[in-house]
Amino acid sequence: MPAAKKTKTEIVRVKLGKRSYDIVIGENLLADAGRRIAKLKPGTAVAIVTDGNVAHHHLATLERSLEAAKISYRSVLLSAGEGTKNYSNLETVAEAILQSRIERGDLVVALGGGVIGDLAGFAASVVRRGVDFAQIPTTLLAQVDSSVGGKTGINSPQGKNLIGAFHQPTLVLADLKTLDTLPAREFRAGYAEVAKYGLINDAKFFEWLEKNWREVFAGGAARAKAVATSCKAKAAIVGRDERETGERALLNLGHTFGHALEAATGYSDRLLHGEGVALGMVLAFKLSAKLKLCKPTDVTRVIKHLENAGLPVRLSQVPGSLPGPDGLLSLMAQDKKVVRGKLVFILAKGIGKAFIAKNVDTKDVREVLNGALAE
């Protein structure tokens, strides 16, 4: 049997003037990370931030790559999970970076999923008033979303990602082979963010996903196309609206509902971030249909596709109890997507036709939540 054809490496540029950077997408990039880092930042030292699960699979490969490039490094290991994004671990990482004698001209490397990327990036943004950092995302969700765009932060007891900063990476290495070690549930959760790009403004991409999602899950060329298409979509939006003063808010499709559900489940394994986004996108389309912005058939398509991919589409699929509509609305009120006390939703006029809605009546939201909780 002939060997599988190697996926071609693709580079997506995030255009932000002097702070522009590349997203490199391909296979076996981890083993080449040292060479790329040395070329980008000659003479640098590195502080690697990762978690125990990722370290088991990938840390040794990265460390060997840095050693081959004669780059000195120190590795900081944290616990895995959304609960790691807290004040305590921010202090742990910041102190470890300082103890490593990392200077402003050196590099913090985030090796892991969105939790590690957000936390390490935030620590890099505040240590010595700003140290460069690179993202090496090892989950699908991180490769297509959280590693790109410079949003860094930690969670507060008041809500998700409420403490943070915009701090762009200098390099993103999306090694597609690292996705082979992901648990199936984690991969499915990341896929919600892939589907999101089609639902926002690319109906043809969503249609392609409806036909090819199995191949994306299997790996190879379809997976590479899905990751690259997602990264190109996000890079374009970030390049036009870095600090989310307008268009970038579209990337929050499903997140207002989703973040409230994550808070309600205690940022635990009861509900992964991507699962919350999937449920949030279903609710956003249901709200859009209620307001007669989109057709009921659009809602059906969204539900069918996410369900086919193994994602939750009903609130009853979340283990344990959830707050009632008013409880969920209260959690939404703490979300970053609130403007002068008014909730901001990303709604849709159809597949690929998302828009920012600032004047949604709370009564309509409550009715949608009531219906969803009763299913």
Contact of 136 with 121, CB cutoff 8 Å? no
**What is the pairing mode between strands 171-175 and 132-137?**
parallel
Name the active-site residue from 151, 160, 232, 305.
151
Which run of H or of E encompasses 39?
A: helix 33-40
* CB within 8 Å of 251: residues ≥ 6 apart: 145, 149, 196, 200, 234, 237
The rounded distance, in Å, linking the Cα atoms of 158 and 108 is: 28
**Per the residue annotation, which of 232, 242, 252, 286 is the catalytic one?**
252
User: Per the residue annotation, which of 244, 286, 301, 336 is the catalytic one?
Assistant: 244
252 is catalytic: yes
Note if 151 is an active site residue. Answer: yes
244 labelled catalytic: yes
Catalytic residue (one of 85, 223, 234, 305): 234
d(CA 281, CA 86) in angstroms, rounded, equals: 26
Q: Which of the residues 85, 160, 232, 259 is marked catalytic? A: 259
255 is a catalytic site residue: yes
Q: Which one of 82, 193, 262, 275 is the catalytic residue?
A: 193
Helix (H, G, I), strand (E, B) or coil at 343: strand
Burial class (CB in 10 A: 0-12, 13-18, 19+), 207: middle
Q: Following CA atoms 84, 85, 91, 92 in sequence, which dihedral angle do they give, to the nearest 10 degrees?
A: 30
Q: Is 193 a catalytic residue?
A: yes
Residue 234: active-site member? yes
Q: Is 259 a catalytic residue?
A: yes
Task: Please name the residues in contact with 139: beta carbons below 8 A apart, sequence gap of 6 or more.
Answer: 112, 113, 114, 179, 182, 186, 187, 190
DSSP 8-state symbol, 108: E
> Catalytic pick from 5, 129, 340, 363?
129
Active site residue 85: no
Q: What is the largest CA-CA distance in the chain?
A: 62
CA–CA separation, 17 and 38 (whole Å):
22
- 315-327 burial, b for 16+ CB within 10 Å, e for fewer? beebeeebbebee
Q: Out of 41, 248, 286, 337, which one is annotated catalytic?
A: 248
User: Pick the catalytic residue: 85, 167, 188, 255?
Assistant: 255
Q: Of the listed 273, 286, 336, 337, which one is catalytic?
A: 273
Instruction: Give the residue numbers annotated as catalytic, written as ranges.
Output: 129, 151, 193, 234, 244, 248, 252, 255, 259, 273
